[in-house]
Amino acid sequence: MLKPADLFNALRRGGSKVLAPLAPSTLAAFALNQPLLASKTNNTAVHSHSFSGSSRPLSSLQIQILERVEICYQEAEIALKHAFPRPITQFSLRGKSAGTAHLQQNRLRFNAVLLRENSEAFLTEVVPHEICHLLCFQLFGKTKPHGKEWQSLMLTVFKVKPSTTHSFNTTSVASKDVEYRCDCGPIRLSIRRHNKVLRGESRYICKRCKAHLIAA
Protein backbone atom coordinates (compact mmCIF):
# COMPACT_ATOMS: atom_id res chain seq x y z
CA MET A 1 0.00 0.00 0.00
CA LEU A 2 1.10 3.57 -0.62
CA LYS A 3 2.10 5.76 2.26
CA PRO A 4 0.99 9.42 2.30
CA ALA A 5 4.61 10.55 2.18
CA ASP A 6 5.14 8.58 -1.03
CA LEU A 7 2.25 10.42 -2.65
CA PHE A 8 3.50 13.84 -1.61
CA ASN A 9 7.07 13.13 -2.69
CA ALA A 10 6.03 11.73 -6.07
CA LEU A 11 3.84 14.72 -6.88
CA ARG A 12 6.55 17.15 -5.78
CA ARG A 13 8.93 15.53 -8.23
CA GLY A 14 6.55 16.42 -11.03
CA GLY A 15 4.53 13.27 -11.44
CA SER A 16 7.05 10.46 -11.03
CA LYS A 17 5.49 7.02 -11.09
CA VAL A 18 3.64 6.27 -7.91
CA LEU A 19 2.42 2.86 -8.98
CA ALA A 20 3.47 0.63 -11.83
CA PRO A 21 1.15 0.68 -14.87
CA LEU A 22 -1.52 -1.96 -14.79
CA ALA A 23 -1.43 -4.94 -17.10
CA PRO A 24 -3.14 -4.49 -20.52
CA SER A 25 -5.73 -7.11 -19.64
CA THR A 26 -6.67 -5.17 -16.50
CA LEU A 27 -6.87 -1.90 -18.40
CA ALA A 28 -9.12 -3.55 -20.96
CA ALA A 29 -11.43 -4.67 -18.17
CA PHE A 30 -11.48 -1.11 -16.80
CA ALA A 31 -12.43 0.23 -20.23
CA LEU A 32 -15.68 -1.71 -20.12
CA ASN A 33 -16.70 0.31 -17.08
CA GLN A 34 -15.55 3.76 -18.24
CA PRO A 35 -18.20 6.40 -18.94
CA LEU A 36 -18.13 8.27 -22.22
CA LEU A 37 -18.17 12.05 -22.33
CA ALA A 38 -21.32 13.61 -23.72
CA SER A 39 -21.56 15.03 -27.19
CA LYS A 40 -24.07 17.72 -28.14
CA THR A 41 -25.93 15.23 -30.29
CA ASN A 42 -25.96 12.18 -28.03
CA ASN A 43 -26.19 12.74 -24.30
CA THR A 44 -27.18 9.14 -23.59
CA ALA A 45 -23.57 8.06 -24.11
CA VAL A 46 -22.59 9.68 -20.82
CA HIS A 47 -24.21 7.09 -18.63
CA SER A 48 -24.00 4.00 -20.78
CA HIS A 49 -21.47 2.38 -18.44
CA SER A 50 -21.39 4.56 -15.34
CA PHE A 51 -24.97 5.31 -14.37
CA SER A 52 -27.18 3.00 -12.37
CA GLY A 53 -30.51 4.02 -10.96
CA SER A 54 -34.06 4.78 -12.01
CA SER A 55 -35.25 4.55 -15.59
CA ARG A 56 -36.05 8.26 -15.66
CA PRO A 57 -33.90 10.30 -18.07
CA LEU A 58 -30.97 12.16 -16.57
CA SER A 59 -31.22 15.90 -16.09
CA SER A 60 -28.65 18.20 -17.67
CA LEU A 61 -27.10 18.74 -14.21
CA GLN A 62 -26.76 15.00 -13.64
CA ILE A 63 -25.07 14.65 -17.02
CA GLN A 64 -22.65 17.40 -15.99
CA ILE A 65 -21.87 15.45 -12.82
CA LEU A 66 -21.07 12.33 -14.86
CA GLU A 67 -18.80 14.39 -17.09
CA ARG A 68 -17.13 15.88 -14.03
CA VAL A 69 -16.57 12.42 -12.55
CA GLU A 70 -14.79 11.32 -15.73
CA ILE A 71 -12.66 14.47 -15.86
CA CYS A 72 -11.64 14.00 -12.21
CA TYR A 73 -10.59 10.43 -12.90
CA GLN A 74 -8.54 11.51 -15.90
CA GLU A 75 -6.83 14.17 -13.76
CA ALA A 76 -6.10 11.60 -11.06
CA GLU A 77 -4.65 9.13 -13.56
CA ILE A 78 -2.35 11.79 -14.99
CA ALA A 79 -1.21 12.97 -11.55
CA LEU A 80 -0.74 9.52 -10.04
CA LYS A 81 0.35 7.59 -13.15
CA HIS A 82 -2.17 4.90 -12.34
CA ALA A 83 -5.37 3.64 -13.97
CA PHE A 84 -8.53 3.53 -11.87
CA PRO A 85 -11.78 1.63 -12.53
CA ARG A 86 -14.67 4.00 -13.09
CA PRO A 87 -17.38 3.91 -10.42
CA ILE A 88 -21.08 3.33 -10.75
CA THR A 89 -22.75 6.73 -10.24
CA GLN A 90 -26.25 7.13 -8.85
CA PHE A 91 -28.47 10.07 -7.89
CA SER A 92 -30.54 8.22 -5.31
CA LEU A 93 -29.13 9.64 -2.07
CA ARG A 94 -31.69 11.17 0.27
CA GLY A 95 -31.53 13.16 3.46
CA LYS A 96 -29.05 15.88 4.32
CA SER A 97 -25.90 14.31 2.87
CA ALA A 98 -24.67 15.72 -0.46
CA GLY A 99 -22.86 12.59 -1.55
CA THR A 100 -21.45 9.31 -0.35
CA ALA A 101 -18.84 6.83 -1.57
CA HIS A 102 -19.32 3.06 -1.20
CA LEU A 103 -15.74 1.85 -1.09
CA GLN A 104 -16.14 -1.89 -1.56
CA GLN A 105 -18.65 -1.44 -4.39
CA ASN A 106 -16.75 1.38 -6.13
CA ARG A 107 -19.98 3.35 -6.22
CA LEU A 108 -20.89 7.03 -5.87
CA ARG A 109 -24.29 8.32 -4.77
CA PHE A 110 -25.34 11.95 -4.98
CA ASN A 111 -28.33 13.83 -3.60
CA ALA A 112 -30.37 15.00 -6.60
CA VAL A 113 -32.26 17.65 -4.61
CA LEU A 114 -29.15 19.26 -3.14
CA LEU A 115 -27.50 19.03 -6.57
CA ARG A 116 -30.25 21.17 -8.09
CA GLU A 117 -29.85 23.74 -5.31
CA ASN A 118 -26.02 23.76 -5.18
CA SER A 119 -24.86 22.75 -8.65
CA GLU A 120 -21.62 24.76 -8.72
CA ALA A 121 -20.45 23.48 -5.35
CA PHE A 122 -21.23 19.91 -6.41
CA LEU A 123 -19.05 20.25 -9.50
CA THR A 124 -16.13 21.91 -7.75
CA GLU A 125 -16.20 20.32 -4.29
CA VAL A 126 -18.64 17.44 -3.74
CA VAL A 127 -17.57 15.32 -6.72
CA PRO A 128 -13.81 15.49 -5.95
CA HIS A 129 -14.59 14.92 -2.26
CA GLU A 130 -16.40 11.63 -2.88
CA ILE A 131 -14.02 10.48 -5.62
CA CYS A 132 -11.09 10.93 -3.26
CA HIS A 133 -12.70 8.47 -0.86
CA LEU A 134 -12.72 5.83 -3.61
CA LEU A 135 -9.20 6.66 -4.78
CA CYS A 136 -7.92 6.63 -1.22
CA PHE A 137 -9.36 3.16 -0.61
CA GLN A 138 -7.89 1.82 -3.86
CA LEU A 139 -4.45 3.31 -3.16
CA PHE A 140 -4.07 2.93 0.60
CA GLY A 141 -6.67 0.40 1.67
CA LYS A 142 -8.79 1.11 4.75
CA THR A 143 -7.96 4.47 6.35
CA LYS A 144 -9.70 7.14 8.40
CA PRO A 145 -12.56 8.59 6.30
CA HIS A 146 -11.04 12.09 6.19
CA GLY A 147 -7.53 11.23 7.28
CA LYS A 148 -4.20 12.51 5.96
CA GLU A 149 -4.34 10.19 2.93
CA TRP A 150 -7.70 11.58 1.81
CA GLN A 151 -6.59 15.13 2.52
CA SER A 152 -3.41 14.69 0.51
CA LEU A 153 -5.38 13.56 -2.54
CA MET A 154 -7.80 16.48 -2.27
CA LEU A 155 -4.96 19.00 -2.07
CA THR A 156 -2.43 17.57 -4.49
CA VAL A 157 -4.62 16.03 -7.18
CA PHE A 158 -7.68 18.30 -7.26
CA LYS A 159 -6.39 21.44 -5.49
CA VAL A 160 -9.55 21.54 -3.37
CA LYS A 161 -9.66 22.45 0.32
CA PRO A 162 -10.33 19.18 2.20
CA SER A 163 -13.50 20.15 4.07
CA THR A 164 -15.16 17.21 5.79
CA THR A 165 -18.76 18.50 5.68
CA HIS A 166 -20.85 20.77 3.50
CA SER A 167 -22.70 23.92 4.58
CA PHE A 168 -25.70 23.67 2.24
CA ASN A 169 -29.17 24.74 3.30
CA THR A 170 -30.96 21.44 3.91
CA THR A 171 -34.44 22.77 4.60
CA SER A 172 -35.84 21.19 1.44
CA VAL A 173 -34.49 17.72 2.34
CA ALA A 174 -35.15 17.79 6.07
CA SER A 175 -37.13 14.74 7.09
CA LYS A 176 -40.74 15.41 8.06
CA ASP A 177 -42.41 13.81 11.03
CA VAL A 178 -45.93 13.09 12.28
CA GLU A 179 -47.46 13.96 15.63
CA TYR A 180 -48.56 11.11 17.89
CA ARG A 181 -49.88 11.20 21.43
CA CYS A 182 -49.59 9.22 24.64
CA ASP A 183 -50.48 9.88 28.28
CA CYS A 184 -47.46 12.20 28.53
CA GLY A 185 -48.50 14.44 25.64
CA PRO A 186 -47.45 14.89 21.99
CA ILE A 187 -44.55 12.91 20.52
CA ARG A 188 -43.14 13.20 17.00
CA LEU A 189 -42.52 10.07 14.93
CA SER A 190 -40.53 9.99 11.72
CA ILE A 191 -42.28 9.40 8.40
CA ARG A 192 -40.58 6.00 8.20
CA ARG A 193 -42.01 4.90 11.56
CA HIS A 194 -45.39 6.44 10.75
CA ASN A 195 -45.55 4.43 7.51
CA LYS A 196 -44.75 1.25 9.45
CA VAL A 197 -47.69 1.98 11.74
CA LEU A 198 -49.98 2.53 8.74
CA ARG A 199 -48.88 -0.79 7.24
CA GLY A 200 -49.48 -2.57 10.52
CA GLU A 201 -45.83 -3.57 10.80
CA SER A 202 -45.06 -1.80 14.09
CA ARG A 203 -46.57 -0.19 17.15
CA TYR A 204 -44.66 2.17 19.38
CA ILE A 205 -44.87 2.88 23.10
CA CYS A 206 -43.75 5.83 25.17
CA LYS A 207 -40.59 5.11 27.16
CA ARG A 208 -41.94 7.06 30.12
CA CYS A 209 -45.62 6.15 30.52
CA LYS A 210 -45.43 2.87 28.53
CA ALA A 211 -48.67 3.74 26.69
CA HIS A 212 -49.09 2.96 23.02
CA LEU A 213 -48.62 5.97 20.78
CA ILE A 214 -51.73 7.03 18.82
CA ALA A 215 -51.73 9.34 15.80
CA ALA A 216 -53.01 12.79 16.80
Whether residue 130 lies in the annotated active site: yes
Marked catalytic residue, from 67, 70, 125, 130: 130
Cα 142 to Cα 136: distance, rounded to the nearest angstrom: 8
For the chain, the distance separating the N- and C-terminal CA atoms, rounded to the nearest angstrom, is 57
Query: How would you write 26-65 as a 3-class SS string?
Result: HHHHHHCCCCCCCECCEHHHHHCCCECCCCCCCCHHHHHH
Q: Is residue 133 a known part of a binding site?
A: yes
Cα 87 to Cα 34: distance, rounded to the nearest angstrom: 8
3-class DSSP state of 109 = strand
Q: Is residue 146 a known part of a binding site?
A: no
DSSP state string for 70-84: HHHHHHHHHHHT---
Query: Could you list the active site residues?
Result: 130
Q: Which residues contribute to the annotated binding site for Zn(2+)?
A: 129, 133
Q: Which residues contribute to the annotated binding site?
A: 129, 133
